[in-house]
Structure 1
Amino acid sequence: MSKSVNRVQKALEDLKLDATIQHMPESTRTAEDAATACKCSVGQIVKSMIFEGAETGKLKLLLVSGKHTVDLEQAAEVFGEPLIRADPKRVRSETGFAIGGVAPLGHLSATDTWMDTALLDHDLVWAAAGAPNAVFSLPPQELKDATASRIFQIG
């Protein structure tokens, strides 16, 4: 296992979450690919997206349902400041994850985290586990609690 996947596994254990990392035979890099691999709806896929606050420069982790996209035009209303895409090198150095394998937990440093309310509509959600083909599943409320997420609504 890679260092990133090991870090996610340790975070799951430290948080006493009943989740097992699964390595899929194909990539789970896109929400559609992940839904196919996990045999679930696209809405159950957690996209872990890192943005930077345009005013504060702080990284923000958005846990977004696979069926949604983040409208950066409306971001200031929801997140208190405009958001810009974070530099991939900064994402890797501060979270420990490369874009495409960012997990919702196991980051190298604490990150403000926000969860799409639509994820709470499901009994189980699937999230990246630190590699393009590694995932884990758990109830969304457990993920919200484990990541100390604030809830937001898209649309």
Structure 2
Amino acid sequence: MTDHLHPRSRLVHDALRAAGIPGEIVVLPDAASTAALAASALGTDVGAIANSLVFWSDGEPLLVMTSGAHRVDTAALAARLGRTSITRASVDQVREATGQAIGGVAPTGHPTKLTTVIDEDLAAFDEIWAAGGTPHTVFPLTFDQLVALTQGTVAAVA
């Protein structure tokens, strides 16, 4: 049942079901707004946390799903993607692009489809975890499911 979920998490749940992904959204007792907090709460490797980071690039939002084990090298990623620049989106840009707050941005459930890049390092894990639309919600999925869900481009991001 999704009755207990925040409305943003219900949107994520519905998008997962529409994509045929069975993972359930887990509501954590404490906020897991960082990869380290999420990994600790779930008892998993920090590298298996798929951080949803929103950047601004060439006049549009860019969602980068990166392993919690490292940071995005924006200059190198811009060069790989043939973009002029990639900079961190503002709080307002994140909310406008995703309908979600920083610390809880999911890879899906957004008002419109976002151009997405997926960290190739996430492929090393059998199960990865992503935010479920709020800082208190997460859900499991596989790397292949994440790629299918977001229709993202797999690349080195660090």
TM-score > 0.5 by shorter chain: yes
Aligned to 1:95: 98
Aligned to 1:130: 133
Aligned to 1:57: 59
Aligned to 2:10: 6
Quote the offset at 1:101 in angstroms.
0.8
Deviations along 1:26-64, whole A, 9 cap, x unmatched? 2211100000111100000000000011xx211110000
Counterparts of 1:113 and 1:76, CA distance in 2 = 13
Matched, 1:31 2:35: yes
Count matched residues. 153
User: What percent identity do the matched residue pairs reach?
Assistant: 35
Contact 2:24 2:139 in 1 (8 A): yes
The 3-state SS of whatever aligns with 1:60 is strand
Counterparts of 2:78 and 2:21, CA distance in 1 = 33
TM-score by length of 2: 0.92
Q: Which runs of 4+ in 1 moved over 6 A?
A: none
TM-score by length of 1: 0.94
Contact 2:13 2:25 in 1 (8 A): yes
Paired AA for residue 72 in structure 1: T
Deviations along 1:4-34, whole A, 9 cap, x unmatched? 1111011011111111000111221110000
Aligned to 1:121: 124
Paired AA for residue 89 in structure 2: A
Aligned to 1:43: 47
1:99-114 residue pairs with structure 2 within 5 A? 99-114=102-117
Deviations along 1:60-90, whole A, 9 cap, x unmatched? 1000000010122323212222101112112
Note the residue ranges of structure 1 that are not aligned, 5 or more in a row.
none
